[in-house]
Every structure is written in C-alpha cells, then in structure tokens.
Structure 1
Amino acid sequence: MNKSELRKKILEIRNSIDVYEKQVKDSKIFNNIINSYQYKHSNNIFIFVSYSSEVDTHKVIEYSLKNGKRIFVPKVISKKLGMEVIEIRGFSDLKRSKYGILEPCENNYIRPEEIDVAFIPGLAFDKKGGRLGYGGGFYDRYLKLLKKSTAKIGLCYSFQVIENVPMEEYDIRIDGIIED
C-alpha cells in the first residue's frame, strides 16, 4: 500500500471511532503521556493542538500549563517556509487557521534546540521509528532542527501502529510511540 492509500485507510478508521471509545482511548493516552519519563523530565514541551479525530491533546496542554510546564505549539507559516513553534499560556492564545486548526496568535518563538520533548501527530507509526504524516512535510522539516537528545514521540491509537510505514530518505524517524 502506498502512502496515499495508507493515509486514506487510517483516516477512515480514525474518523469512525465511537465517541465514547475515543474518550476512553484519549484518557489512557493522557495518563501514558503524563506518566512517561520524557514528559516528567521536560520543561519545554512541543505538542500539537489536536484537531478532528486526532488523539486529544487539549487535556495534556491544560494539565501541563497548570503544572508549570512551558507549552509550545506549531503554527504553519507557509508551504515554502514550513512551520514555527510558538509558546502559549492558554487556549485563549489560539485562533482557528484557514484550515480550522487552532494555532497561536502571538509570535513567542522558541529555538528548536530549547525543546525538551516533542509530541508528534501522525496517521501511522511503526516500532522502528517510521511515521506517516499528512503529506505536507511540515513536521519532517521542523524535527530535523531539534537537538539529537530531544525525544520525538508519536501520539496515536493502537490501530495506527502498523508493521512497516513506507519511508523516504527525507522522512524523520521518531524515538517512540505513546498509544492507548
């Protein structure tokens, strides 16, 4: 199965999850995140703001802010320029982009080398560090700027972990997965 077919298949499955089942899965993932070594030993956390049927990150963001962690979220600048990562102090710092995704209003950038852990979205992952994103290359371009010691952790539901994600030479491998 090529990347495009795999994206479509996984998205269909993810979009069809029952609301209650999603809440149960999201709750497990939340607990797995906040109890992870990478989370506990990080101050500057890069995390996506979940959208649609993605793993819910809103609870993690709220919990982290209440507990004194600094939260940085992506903001797409353009297809050519990629994305930046910007600090937020709450959901009031976010507005909907033209794609309906919550993005920061301000421009409190962080240098990539200051990020302690990065929690990454994706459509499919494998146990060898493979990640299938949405096809824009935004995360691959940004993740290569992080220092080598920054943990890159994919967040997903267990059905999104597959045997082998098709990878290109420019695709960045992740360090681990947190799932339900």
Structure 2
Amino acid sequence: MSLDKQQLRTFYKELRAALSDEELERKSLEITDNVIAFLSERKELIHFHLFFPIPKQREINTYLIKEYLELNGDTVYTSRVESDSLILHTLLLQPYTKFQFDTWGIPVPEEFELVTNESIQVVFVPLLAFDQKGHRIGFGKGYYDVFLASLDPSVLKIGLSFFPAELSISPELHDIQLDYCITPENIITF
C-alpha cells in the first residue's frame, strides 16, 4: 500500500521527531561530509543558496554546510518569505553572520543584502521525503516550488534528507524535480 503526500508528511515528521538530538547531529554531520565530497569534485560551483533549520521541524543542521562554504570562500545566500505570498526573496549573507528566530521560529540572518537570484548555481532544498526519481515532498506550502521555478534551469537542485528514498511519489504539475539528493549514506543522482 502506498501513502499519499499528506500521509508521507505525517510519517516523516514522526520519524524526525523520534530522532534523538545526538542522532540528528550525527546524521547532519554525515550529510555535511557527503556535501563536501560532492563539492570537492565541482570546484566551479561557488554560489550556494542554503536553507537554515527550523528547530521545531527537526531539520538538518545546515549551519555546518554554511561554515564549510564560508571557509572555502564561497558565496552563501538564503531566503526570506514575503508576507502573505509564496515569494521567497534572496538574501546574500555576510560571512559569519548571526541568526535570530522570527515569530514562526524560522532562522533569519541579522546581516544580509537583498539581491536577485541570477548568480545562484546550487540550491540546497529542504524536504521531508523524496523518491527514486527526484520528486520531493516539502511541508506543503509551495514556497520552494515557486522559488525553484523562478531560477535558471541550469541551477542544481540538491535535496538533503535524513532518510532514504521512497520508491515513488506522485508529482503534481507545479513540483520541481531534484537533480541530486544527499543523505547520510549516499549521494544520489536523478
């Protein structure tokens, strides 16, 4: 029996909630190691869009990736949601900027510059689940699908997941497929 998107969201939220803090950090480190291995073979990539973890959602600790990118001299971007819309504004981060939490618990950089997204070469995409063809399930709001659709098709879309791929997830017309997904165990190409 296959699960629909809402059932998969519930299932993966429960799986994340069951991770101990130690497991979450260990898996985040393993994902970061695989990101570093992936990027070590792609030195031409220097402009990265990165999401930052919402603690209550038990997301991957992407601050570890940010630290690596900054030490490597790469440029790091993130996004901020525009009120009452699905638009994500692109923010250029200052090296070693600090973050604070907004009213929804989303990490927001204290220092940034609002920029266009033309320079972005890679987007690390948040997700709850993904399948063997690169389809993903997010939290259901659609922010990243709208954002990814606004980018040049050559931009690499890389999911980060604690868990392995589902066999199949039924995509919707607006869903944007991943190019890669990085887990603690694997770097998967679609």
On whether the aligned pair clears a TM of 0.5, the verdict is yes
Residue 51 and residue 81 in structure 1: after superposition, are their counterparts in 2 closer, same or farther (change >3 A)? Answer: closer
- Relative to the length of structure 2, the TM-score reads 0.86
Q: Match of 1:63, SS?
A: helix
- Of 7, 30, 33, the residue aligned with 2:9 is 7
Report the alpha carbon displacement of residue 75 of structure 1 after superposing the two structures with TM. Answer: 0.7
CA distance in 1, matches of 2:43, 2:20: 31
Q: Mapping of 1:56-95 within 5 angstroms?
A: 56-90=61-95, 92-95=97-100
CA distance in 2, matches of 1:112, 1:90: 18
Q: Match of 2:139, SS?
A: coil
- Count of matched residue pairs: 179
Task: Note if contact 1:93-1:106 (Cα within 8 Å) is conserved in structure 2.
Answer: yes
Does residue 136 (structure 1) correspond to residue 136 (structure 2)? The answer is no
Corresponding residue for 1:29? 31
Residue 8 and residue 81 in structure 1: after superposition, are their counterparts in 2 closer, same or farther (change >3 A)? Answer: closer
- C-alpha RMSD of the superposition: 1.8
Q: What residue ranges of structure 1 are gaps of 5+ in the alignment?
A: none
Corresponding residue for 1:118? 123
Q: Which AA in structure 1 matches 2:26?
A: V
Q: Which AA in structure 1 matches 2:54?
A: Y
Deviations 1:40-80 (A, max 9, x none): 43111001011221111011112211221111011111242
Runs of 4+ more than 4 Å apart: none
Corresponding residue for 1:177? 181
Q: Match of 2:114, SS?
A: coil
Percent of matched pairs sharing the same residue? 30
- Of 75, 99, 102, the residue aligned with 1:97 is 102
Corresponding residue for 1:154? 159
Corresponding residue for 1:48? 51
Task: Note if contact 1:3-1:132 (Cα within 8 Å) is conserved in structure 2.
Answer: yes
- Relative to the length of structure 1, the TM-score reads 0.90
Report the alpha carbon displacement of residue 105 of structure 1 after superposing the two structures with TM. Answer: 4.3
Q: What residue ranges of structure 2 are gaps of 5+ in the alignment?
A: 185-190
